[in-house]
């Protein structure tokens, strides 16, 4: 299990690609926090992960609302402890340190370069490679 005991927050994870990523992380041993606008759907996705033997929780989160992001990250850190250093992209890209603090917010995320930009910025902020 490559992510055993790591903690991951995944946005838009109540359905689609986000849900598949959450399921894959959980299958690799991560404790997963599903963040979504739709808490009921997020909880259903988390329940599915738990039923399959993983560890998951859900939080309601609008990633364009910094206060909502802070509240969701705080709930996850309270439940699971420190987050593995991570960047996540949706409408905005948040870079969150292991202690749950937001290190940087990029409000200019462009779909065509999001992956490359995410990787470069994570390297600049000193995130470990997994």
DSSP string of 56-121, one letter each residue: EEEEE--TT-HHHHHHHHHHHHHHH-SPPSEEEESSSEEEE-TTS-EEEEETT--TTTHHHHHHHH
Sketch out the chain's domains with CATH numbers.
7-124 (3.40.50.720)
Tokens 């420190």 belong to 82
Positions of the chain with pLDDT under 50: 87, 89
Tokens 């917010």 belong to 105
Whole-angstrom Cα distance, residue 49 to residue 87?
Answer: 22
> Do 98 and 84 touch, CB atoms closer than 8 A?
yes
Phi, psi of 15 (to 5 degrees): -160, 175
* The predicted structure's pLDDT at residue 118: 65
Q: How far is CA 26 from the centre of its chain?
A: 12
* The predicted structure's pLDDT at residue 58: 97
* The predicted structure's pLDDT at residue 75: 92
* The predicted structure's pLDDT at residue 34: 94
* The predicted structure's pLDDT at residue 86: 53
Q: What is the mean pLDDT of the chain?
A: 81
Considering Cα of 57, then 80, then 20, then 86, what sign does the dihedral take? positive
User: Using one digit for the tens of pLDDT, what is the confidence trace for 31-66?
Assistant: 999 999 999 999 999 999 999 999 999 999 988 888
* The predicted structure's pLDDT at residue 21: 85
* The predicted structure's pLDDT at residue 92: 63
* The predicted structure's pLDDT at residue 56: 97
* The predicted structure's pLDDT at residue 85: 56
């Amino acid at each position: 299990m490559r992510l055993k005991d790591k903690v991951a927050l995944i946005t838009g994870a109540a359905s689609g690609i986000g849900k598949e990523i959450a399921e894959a992380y959980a299958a690799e041993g991560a404790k997963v926090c599903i963040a979504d606008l739709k808490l009921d759907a997020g909880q259903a996705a988390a329940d599915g992960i738990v039923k399959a033997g993983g560890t998951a929780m859900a939080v309601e989160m609008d990633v364009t609302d910094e206060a909502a992001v802070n509240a969701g990250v705080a709930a996850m850190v309270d439940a699971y402890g420190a987050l593995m250093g991570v960047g996540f992209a949706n409408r905005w890209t948040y870079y969150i340190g292991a202690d749950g603090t937001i290190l940087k917010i990029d409000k200019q995320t462009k779909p065509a370069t999001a992956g490359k930009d995410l990787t470069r910025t994570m390297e600049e902020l000193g995130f470990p490679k997994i």
